[in-house]
Structure 1
Amino acid sequence: MENLIDRGSDRPWQGALLDKKEVDEIKTKVMDSDEVYQLPKSDYGGCANDEEFIQAKSTIPNILYKLNGTKVVCVIDEQGNVTDFEFTQAPKNPAVAKELERCLKLLKYKPAIYKLFTVKCKWNFWYDGNKSLLPEVPEEPEEQISNVEAEKKVEDKVFDTVEQQPSFPGGEGAMFSYISNNLRYPQKAAENCVQGRVVVKFIVEKDGSISNVEVNRSVDRDLDNEAMRVIKNMPKWNPAKQNGTEVRAYYYVPVTFRLK
């Protein structure tokens, strides 16, 4: 019997029927994501992505800012549950790691498909967090700088750490929704099944405009360029504040490309 239809997949498996031993092996094996015919898929509970979902579900305020560099390897099982967590790079606070695991377990996926079967699939989550929490770079001594030059330097300074972070109009959820609605998957990357999370660094100016957009963590040239395009076209932000005054500040945003 040939040309069997692969349920739910847009890439039908063309092959002969399998015997029971082969079926049992498929059902028990944990597949790599590049082995399956259809990757796991989630609607993130109505959120734009996993970051927005975690922020909404977490009992720890601003948990995303505490996940800087966190990497998690897990499994999406044949029922679409997130299981078998392993932190390859864990947050400093064990309570944050435990809360992240709790939130990820709340996610529900359509499971991966291999041939005719829903299967277990290895899955990765990676969180850049907010690099604006990094310590400021020490400034050069100003003994020889005139008052005018000193004022100009302060005015032009770009802050890494500020009392009030810059924010997208409507909040972080609105920002991720904007990105999701305006992102166009590059055709070449889609054809080559290239996926990943591009981290974009930029400056929010004192008037809320975006400048100096660059890639902080690259995945692929086409994905990098598309991520920068979306960030550059963002509406004006609410600027950062230091001592009650609007200042220039760095900000980092992860842009996720995932084929559906």
Structure 2
Amino acid sequence: MTKQHIGILALLVIILPSCSYFDFSPDLRFCDDFYVVVEEMPVLIGGMAELQQKVVYPELARERGIEGRVTVQFIVNKLGDPTEVQMVRGIGGGADQEAVRVVKQAKFEPGKQNGKPVCVQYQLSINFRLEN
């Protein structure tokens, strides 16, 4: 390696970390690790009533008279978005997929540990009740 190459390398080591073009901060959307319980648990923005209003009762479930509760588990990331959303207890008739769809649209205030946002595993239950 020539002296010119070493000089350029040294310059890059000095300039690149301060350059705003390169973002070396961790991506807050992804969770390498998560908590189950934290000092401040995530809070659903708008509450369960608002989330429940977004549910569209699946036609198949309506035709078959399917009612019940679908439980969905997910990770609330450091930005308050649900990730890795999956149904853990379902009732069928399209209700399981509808519950997952609605939860994916939810927004949370992220959970905090020691005052810092962290990823937290969370569960919600979506109710499906036919009106008479």
Aligned residue for 2:84?
212
TM-score of the pair, normalised by structure 1: 0.37
Distance 1:250 1:178 in 2: 21
Give the structure 1 partner of residue 114 of structure 2. Answer: 243
Structure 1 segments unaligned to the other structure (5+ residues) = 1-154
Distance (Å, rounded) in 2 between the aligned partners of 1:180 and 1:189: 16
Q: TM-score, normalised by structure 2?
A: 0.72
- The total of aligned residue pairs comes to 101
Q: How far apart in 1 are the matches of 2:56 and 2:72?
A: 16
What residue in structure 1 maps to residue 71 of structure 2?
199
Indicate the RMSD between aligned Cα atoms, in angstroms.
1.3
Distance in 2 of aligned mates of 1:167 and 1:221: 29
Aligned counterpart for 1:255 among listed residues 114, 126, 130: 126
With a CA cutoff of 8 Å and minimum separation of 6, indicate the structure with the bigger relative contact order.
2
- SS at the partner of 1:158? coil
Following TM superposition, by how much is the alpha carbon of 1:224 offset from its aligned partner in structure 2, in angstroms? 0.3
SS at match of 1:178: helix
SS at match of 2:101: helix
Partner of residue 43 from structure 2, selected from 143, 163, 167: 167
Q: Report 1:133-152 matches (<5 A).
A: none
Confirm or deny: 8 A CA contact 2:66 2:93 kept in the other structure.
Answer: no
Q: Which runs of 5+ in 2 are unaligned?
A: 1-30
Q: Percent identity?
A: 36
